[in-house]
């Protein structure tokens, strides 16, 4: 029975296979170095702006106590040399929740993978779909796209790479097929957010808060966003199926063909042997699936989707899930008095879910204390490098915020398009401007909070033609922000996904540029047609 659960590090590369990059004399800079150079550049720019006496207009806001801070001008803050090293630390602090989540996820996944439950499941699926494996791409991508469109699937998608990649590789495709199923499925869904509370919800709410007479809701433009979602999801599925079919017919056409054998050893370790799905593996697979289902169900803002604001002081705004949370705390106080209810919590609670599931799996597979700790720490350690990349990437946003360059760029670009008279022209320019702005403000909700007060204030751009520009600007925002987050190296999600799939950035761009070009063109076309239609539809 001990041999059923082989203890080894499945996240670590096979040292016997030489790395392709190590053979080359020219070695690309690491993600850490590139991100630190970006921070250094921001610091240098802050010096120039400080020396030139540049000021930025700060809009009216509230402090931590709720007191109003009147609108005023501030000088750009020059960051120091030591801030180059302070930025990643603050990025680590600001990204602590997702980092803790990845550590817990890494430990959990390593225990699941070592049980060989996923390998056995993959073998059963490929046997059942023998010769028809390519059709599994359609329901998988539709599933990820729906979740992305409704709740902004991002960090929670990371766990699915280690499901889809082995599944597709066992079917005869390469690892990029499984990688794209998750990335493009969820990414195109987010890019065409319909009722995503973190993008559409916050943008609409921010517009309404400006007291400029603009009336809009999540329902405005929903029909057109649904049409856009269908078209772009169909396009993404077609691209992935075309690529996977091409690779299966001729594996040498795979972008990662040179590492194919190494990938098989990593993702399909000993998969050539028939793995018996005994009760331990079946139970492991069940717990694995239930954990992810619970995570997704827990993180979706159901009350926000249903239109409830959950104001603690106003019972009439409480949604059913918020009330359910209160009921649990009142009637089952010894279950948890600290965990937030469904749709209201974050990655800390989800991390605890993974920890609990990992412990349960340790008992199921008979690991014992030492075996469990060894395997959990191996998995956590091998994803910690990705966590550090996320921390350094977060330092970029911290640097832009603290130097006030973020506010300077946002206000400058927003005011520069005030002279355009065509509503369609404004929407297209907004979309184009939102793309680089998303690099400066990686957070979707933070982006909406930063830009829409400028666009929707009295005399702002949206007030020129609110019937078209209110919902149209929201659509342009979610498309631009979703588009850039499909490939930007400053995104912790992208870097984490590439780390899990073991793909370097140049190969990633070589893979993605055709579909990115198509999605960019489709976005401009859909925004233009939507602007021409106007009204509640678009």
Task: Please write the tens of the pLDDT for every residue from 171-221.
Answer: 889 999 999 999 999 999 999 998 786 788 778 877 877 666 777 777 788
Name, of 69-83, 182-196, 436-450, 480-494, the range with top average pLDDT.
Answer: 182-196
- Enumerate residues 6+ apart whose C-beta is below 8 A from 359: 372
What is the rounded radius of gyration, in angstroms, for the C-alpha atoms of the chain? 24
Model pLDDT, residue 296 = 67
- Enumerate residues 6+ apart whose C-beta is below 8 A from 405: 42, 45, 46, 49, 76, 399, 440
User: Domain ranges in the chain?
Assistant: 31-51+86-301+344-533
Q: Is the pLDDT of residue 359 over 70?
A: yes
- Residue range 10-24, pLDDT digits in tens: 444 444 444 444 444
Q: Is the pLDDT of residue 426 over 50?
A: yes
Q: Is the pLDDT of residue 435 over 80?
A: yes
Q: How many CB atoms lie within 10 A of CB 214?
A: 19
Is this structure's pTM higher than 0.75? no
Name, of 60-64, 96-100, 470-474, 534-538, the range with top average pLDDT.
Answer: 470-474
Torsion of CA 79, 84, 89, 90, to 10 degrees: 30
Torsion of CA 466, 468, 469, 471, to 10 degrees: 100
Model pLDDT, residue 22 = 46
- Residue range 459-470, pLDDT digits in tens: 567 877 887 888
Query: What's the CA gap between 123 and 274, in Å, rounded?
Result: 8
Q: Which helix or strand (DSSP H or E) is residue 156 part of? A: none
Q: Is the pLDDT of residue 509 over 80?
A: yes
The predicted model gives 76-81 an average pLDDT of 92
Torsion of CA 433, 437, 443, 449, to 10 degrees: -70
| Nearest C-alpha neighbor of 447 from the set 495, 401, 399 | 401
The predicted model gives 329-342 an average pLDDT of 76
Residue 345 has phi, psi (to 5 degrees) of -90, -175
The predicted model gives 305-322 an average pLDDT of 75
Model pLDDT, residue 78 = 92
Q: Is the pLDDT of residue 479 over 80?
A: yes
Query: What's the CA gap between 415 and 460, in Å, rounded?
Result: 9
Stronger pLDDT, 169 or 150, i.e. the higher one: 169
Query: What's the CA gap between 136 and 147, in Å, rounded?
Result: 17
Model pLDDT, residue 537 = 59
Q: Is the pLDDT of residue 85 over 60?
A: yes
Average pLDDT of the residues of the chain:
81
Helices (H), 250-367: 260-267, 279-299, 302-305, 320-331, 347-364
Model pLDDT, residue 25 = 46
Query: What's the CA gap between 204 and 445, in Å, rounded?
Result: 11
Angle, helix 117-128 to helix 96-114, in steps of 10 degrees: 70
Q: Is the pLDDT of residue 84 over 80?
A: yes
Q: How confident is the model at residue 304 (pLDDT cuts 50, 70, 90)?
A: low
Q: How confident is the model at residue 391 (pLDDT cuts 50, 70, 90)?
A: confident
Lowest mean pLDDT among 51-65, 230-244, 379-393: 51-65
Asked whether the CA dihedral 382, 512, 96, 335 is positive or negative, the reply is negative
The predicted model gives 50-79 an average pLDDT of 78
Model pLDDT, residue 343 = 64
Q: How confident is the model at residue 269 (pLDDT cuts 50, 70, 90)?
A: low
């Amino acid at each position: 029975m001990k041999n059923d659960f082989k203890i080894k590090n499945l996240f670590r590369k096979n040292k016997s296979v030489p790395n392709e990059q190590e053979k080359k004399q020219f070695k690309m800079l690491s993600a850490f170095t590139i991100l630190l150079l970006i921070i250094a550049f921001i610091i240098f720019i802050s010096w120039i702006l400080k020396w030139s006496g540049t000021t930025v207009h700060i809009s009216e806001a509230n402090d931590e106590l709720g007191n109003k801070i009147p609108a005023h001008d501030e000088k750009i803050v020059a960051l120091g040399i030591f801030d180059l090293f302070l930025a990643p630390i603050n990025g680590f602090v600001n990204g602590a929740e997702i980092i803790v989540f990845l550590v817990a996820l890494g430990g959990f996944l390593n225990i699941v993978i070592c049980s060989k439950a996923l390998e056995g499941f993959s073998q059963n699926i490929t046997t059942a779909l023998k010769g028809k494996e390519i059709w599994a791409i359609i329901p998988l991508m539709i599933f990820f796209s729906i979740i992305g469109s409704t709740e902004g699937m991002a960090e929670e998608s990371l766990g699915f790479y280690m499901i889809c990649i082995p599944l597709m590789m066992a079917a005869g495709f390469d690892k990029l097929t499984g990688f794209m199923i998750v990335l493009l499925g969820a990414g195109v869904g987010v890019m065409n957010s319909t009722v995503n509370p973190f993008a559409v919800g916050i943008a609409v709410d921010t517009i309404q808060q400006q007291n400029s007479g603009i009336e809009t809701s999540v329902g405005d433009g929903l029909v057109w966003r649904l049409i856009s979602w269908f078209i772009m999801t169909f396009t993404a599925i077609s691209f992935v199926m075309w690529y996977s079919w091409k690779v299966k017919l001729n594996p040498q056409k795979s972008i990662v063909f040179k590492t194919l054998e190494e990938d098989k050893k990593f993702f399909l370790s000993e998969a050539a042997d028939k793995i018996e799905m005994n009760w331990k593996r079946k139970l492991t697979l069940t717990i694995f699936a239930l954990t992810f289902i619970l995570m997704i169900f827990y993180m979706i803002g159901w009350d926000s989707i249903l239109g409830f604001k959950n104001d603690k002081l106003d019972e009439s705004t409480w949604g059913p899930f918020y009330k359910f949370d209160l009921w649990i705390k009142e009637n089952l106080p010894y279950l948890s008095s600290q965990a937030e209810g469904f749709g209201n919590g974050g990655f800390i609670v989800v991390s605890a879910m993974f920890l609990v599931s990992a412990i349960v799996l340790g008992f199921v597979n008979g690991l014992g204390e030492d075996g469990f700790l060894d395997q959990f720490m191996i998995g956590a350690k091998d994803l910690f490098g990705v966590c550090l990349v996320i921390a350094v990437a977060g330092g970029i946003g911290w640097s832009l915020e603290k130097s006030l360059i973020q506010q300077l760029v946002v206000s400058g670009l927003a005011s520069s398009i005030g002279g355009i008279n065509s509503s369609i022209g404004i929407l297209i320019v907004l979309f184009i401007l939102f793309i680089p702005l998303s690099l400066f403000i990686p957070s979707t909700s933070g982006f909406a909070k930063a830009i829409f007060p400028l666009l929707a204030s009295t005399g702002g751009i949206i007030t020129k033609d609110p019937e078209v520009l209110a919902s149209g600007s929201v659509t342009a925002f979610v498309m631009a922000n979703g588009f850039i987050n499909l490939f930007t190296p400053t995104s912790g999600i992208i870097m984490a996904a590439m780390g899990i799939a073991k793909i370097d950035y140049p190969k990633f761009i070589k893979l993605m540029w055709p579909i990115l070009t198509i999605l960019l063109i489709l976005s401009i076309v859909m925004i233009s047609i939507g602007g021409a239609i106007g009204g509640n539809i678009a």
